[in-house]
Chains A and B, each alone.
Chain A
Amino acid sequence: MTTESPPAAATVRPPPAEERDGSSIGRIVVGAFLLLLVVALVPTLWGAVSSMGAPQWTEALAIGLIFAPAAMGIYLTFRVLDFPDLTVDGSFPAGGAIAAVLITNDVSAWLALPAAMLLGALLGVVTGCLHIYLRINSLLASIITLTAAFTVNLRIQGSANISLLNSDRIFTPWTEPIRDQLESWFGSTGVQIHRAVTTASMTVLIVVAVLLVLRWFFATEVGLGMRATGANREMSQSQAIDTSRYLIGGVALSNSLVGLTGALFVQHAGFADINSGAGLIVSGLAAVIIGEVLFGSKARSMLARFVAVALGMIAYRAAIALALNADLRFPGTDGFRLEASDIKFATAAVVVVMLAIPRVSETRKERARRRARA
């Protein structure tokens, strides 16, 4: 909320953005459309759900948990700091790159996590400084950082792709015992899901740890100052908050979480890819929005909000698994299947629709108001 108060004219400002809620007509229209879509897709979706077995679900859960810290980081910049930050598309592969190098050189798979967070934070600091000290627009500043990060990541990795399959990762020591245990419980199904279960059960601990740190941080004076910085920079300055430092710190914190996700992802996937970050911001936004829609945007405590975002990411990955599993066959065609590469388009479309709903209803309300005045 930037406010340049003109010395003249006692203007009363329009109601703040946080007050918006959808008008009923807008909701009905969108609701009816979604309902129609669901009805049309039910047979296909049902097919997908029934064909999706335990392996697909557990894999979706594992990936959702891995991406949960990134989603929380994106929530932090996008919603708390009101600083749209695309650096994440660069800090994700950066976290993966440094982790991959540390792991393939047999340094330590665990050390790879803080190292990735540090590198992510550094990229966040670069973006923050470009914005604060050179007054570059936040989106442009983050695009500049992410472009430069591509080179840095490639230099760190040495090649566009590194395999970690033959190195010790944080999950490796647990894979065998968990497989044996699952096999004794579920037979061959247990073997199919043992990798995803290992990842999910270890990652959930990391996610809980991240949530506890965030809960602690936002209960401190500094954390409150950071929320204030995002809510109203001018006011924060007058409340003796060095908003420049708080903003840079917040963007760094956000990108360190994304770096953590990068390091976890390469350890699960078994490879690091220089191009893996493209589109992360959009999937993170999708998770933020899904979390808000499903678990409430008015959640009081900061912990509840971050939990909602983490669950949003898990729901998003589950929806993607479902979409990839769906066998969409249109009459007259040989059959049309959603490919993994189609997901980005679908995600972008979902985010646009979700962002459009409040905007559309606001426009409607404004029109109604004008009509009432006329």
Chain B
Amino acid sequence: MSATPKLSVQGCSLTFNAGQHNEVTALDSVDLDVATGEHVVIVGSNGAGKSTLLNLVCGRYLPDTGRILIDGQAVTNQPEHVRARRIGRVFQDPLAGTAGPMTIEENLALAERRSHGRRFRRIRRDQTEQHREDLSRLGLGLEDRLSNQVASLSGGQRQALALLMASVSKPDLLVLDEHTAALDPGAAERVLRLTNELVAEEQLTALMITHNMDHAVDTGDRTVMMHRGTVLFDVAGEERAQMSVTDLVERFRSFRATVSDRSTLA
């Protein structure tokens, strides 16, 4: 793959509360290149820096050092709302990705303007058929509830809608921050299946955090394990295809052991 990576994180570090007693190095010189169309799954224990990395990519935090490029273009210091034109994002909290007091159709209309900018121009009213079609693929019956308030939907329904909103008009990057973690098993399975379908059909480049070890090896085509703000290992292709959940956990243990030995000796 000689082409420019879709996303390139170069030597990014971020420390919270620098110089204070509760100083935390959330990210320690992380490098990560993601090729176009790649579906990267990020795993790691709490505090590993997974969410921080995604927040850095999305622009919610700015790195202390390092650069972030999308399609070869530096976006390191671009504010979140500017970068968001190229990034679709789904949060862990099912209530976070949609606007509860607005209707399903209004939420979709909102997402449609993400990559085009907003003007003092009437909202398009001729998209209803398109909306119905998009919603019907969720298989949740939402296509008949376009004018219902989103607040009346269940968590799983809201998350499915948030996913649909994040993927409209083919974003350069789809960022999924543990987006199935707060759902019941059935809804989580459905939302994950939908994620895989959307990523495959639209050929999206996706970054997904999960705590589910099965998803870590089954979903996507590359697994990145993080620990204490660094990338512990990064597997793809044949090696990953051979990998079982047990292998993954085993590998995590061994790496972590060496890391903590090193830090003890240092």
A240 and B82 contact, CB distance less than 8 A: yes
A224 and B123 contact, CB distance less than 8 A: yes
**Interface with A: B90-98, B136-144, B217-225, which one?**
B90-98
- A23 within 8 Å of B by Cβ? no
B100 and A239 contact, CB distance less than 8 A: no
B101 and A18 contact, CB distance less than 8 A: yes
A19 touches which of B51, B147, B151, B211 (Cβ 8 Å):
B151
- A225 within 8 Å of B by Cβ? yes
- B67 within 8 Å of A by Cβ? no
Tell me, in angstroms, the Cα distance from A242 to B81 when the chains sit together.
6
A224 and B165 contact, CB distance less than 8 A: no
- B198 within 8 Å of A by Cβ? no
A228 and B120 contact, CB distance less than 8 A: no
B115's nearest neighbour on chain A, judged by CB, is A240
A11 and B182 contact, CB distance less than 8 A: yes
A234 and B151 contact, CB distance less than 8 A: no
Which range contains the number of A residues in contact with the other chain?
20 to 34
A12 touches which of B50, B98, B121, B155 (Cβ 8 Å):
B155
B84 and A239 contact, CB distance less than 8 A: yes
A220 and B122 contact, CB distance less than 8 A: yes
Tell me, in angstroms, the Cα distance from A181 to B122 when the chains sit together.
43
Q: Which residues of B237-259 are within 8 A (CB) of A?
A: none
Q: Which residues of A contact B100 (CB under 8 A)?
A: 1, 16, 18, 231-232
Tell me, in angstroms, the Cα distance from A232 to B100 when the chains sit together.
8
- Closest Cβ–Cβ distance, residue B179 to chain A (whole Å): 11
Q: A18-B100, A221-B118, A232-B100 are in contact. Are A240 and B84 (CB under 8 A)?
A: yes
- Closest Cβ–Cβ distance, residue A231 to chain B (whole Å): 4
**Interface with A: B5-13, B105-113, B200-208, B228-236, which one?**
B105-113
Q: Which residues of B7-41 are within 8 A (CB) of A?
A: none
- A319 within 8 Å of B by Cβ? no
How does the 8 Å CB contact mask read for A1-28 relative to B, with 1 for contact and 0 for none? 1010101101111001011000000000
Q: A221-B121, A239-B110, A240-B81 are in contact. Are A228 and B97 (CB under 8 A)?
A: no
A238 and B182 contact, CB distance less than 8 A: no
A8 and B46 contact, CB distance less than 8 A: yes
Q: Which residues of B29-65 are within 8 A (CB) of A?
A: 46-47, 50-51, 58, 60
- B146 within 8 Å of A by Cβ? no
A232 and B92 contact, CB distance less than 8 A: no
B182 touches which of A10, A220, A221 (Cβ 8 Å):
A10
- B262 within 8 Å of A by Cβ? no
Q: Which residues of A contact B98 (CB under 8 A)?
A: 232, 235
A237 and B182 contact, CB distance less than 8 A: no
- B71 within 8 Å of A by Cβ? no
A13 touches which of B58, B60, B93, B166 (Cβ 8 Å):
B93
Q: Which residues of B contact A231 (CB under 8 A)?
A: 99-102
B89 and A238 contact, CB distance less than 8 A: yes
B84 and A221 contact, CB distance less than 8 A: no
Tell me, in angstroms, the Cα distance from A231 to B109 when the chains sit together.
15
Tell me, in angstroms, the Cα distance from A5 to B119 when the chains sit together.
31
Q: A228-B99, A231-B100 are in contact. Are A222 and B118 (CB under 8 A)?
A: yes
- Closest Cβ–Cβ distance, residue B41 to chain A (whole Å): 16
B151 and A228 contact, CB distance less than 8 A: no
Tell me, in angstroms, the Cα distance from A237 to B87 when the chains sit together.
11
Which range contains the number of B residues in contact with the other chain?
35 or more
Q: Which residues of B contact A8 (CB under 8 A)?
A: 46-47
- Closest Cβ–Cβ distance, residue B83 to chain A (whole Å): 8
Q: Which residues of B contact A237 (CB under 8 A)?
A: 60, 80-81, 84
B118 and A238 contact, CB distance less than 8 A: no
Q: A225-B110, A231-B102, A242-B81 are in contact. Are A5 and B92 (CB under 8 A)?
A: yes
A300's nearest neighbour on chain B, judged by CB, is B147
Q: A228-B102, A232-B100, A239-B111 are in contact. Are A3 and B120 (CB under 8 A)?
A: no
- B4 within 8 Å of A by Cβ? no
A241 and B81 contact, CB distance less than 8 A: yes
How does the 8 Å CB contact mask read for B146-187 relative to A, with 1 for contact and 0 for none? 010101100100000000011000000000011001100000
B109 and A12 contact, CB distance less than 8 A: no
A221 and B96 contact, CB distance less than 8 A: no
A238 and B84 contact, CB distance less than 8 A: yes
Q: Which residues of A contact B91 (CB under 8 A)?
A: 3, 5, 234-235, 238
How does the 8 Å CB contact mask read for A223-251 relative to B, with 1 for contact and 0 for none? 01101100110111111111100000000
- B215 within 8 Å of A by Cβ? no
- A219 within 8 Å of B by Cβ? yes
B118's nearest neighbour on chain A, judged by CB, is A221
- Closest Cβ–Cβ distance, residue B126 to chain A (whole Å): 14
Sorted nearest first, the 9 A-B pairs with minimum C-beta distance are: A231-B99, A240-B84, A221-B118, A10-B181, A238-B89, A8-B46, A7-B51, A240-B114, A18-B151
Q: Which residues of A line the B interface, CB within 8 A?
A: 1, 3, 5, 7-8, 10-13, 16, 18-19, 217, 219-222, 224-225, 227-228, 231-232, 234-243, 300
Known contacts A13-B95, A16-B151; 5 additional CB pairs below 8 A are A3-B95, A13-B93, A16-B100, A221-B123, A224-B109
Q: List 17 A-B contacts (CB under 8 A).
A: A3-B95, A3-B96, A5-B93, A5-B177, A10-B181, A12-B155, A220-B118, A221-B120, A222-B118, A222-B120, A227-B99, A227-B101, A228-B102, A232-B95, A237-B84, A238-B84, A239-B111
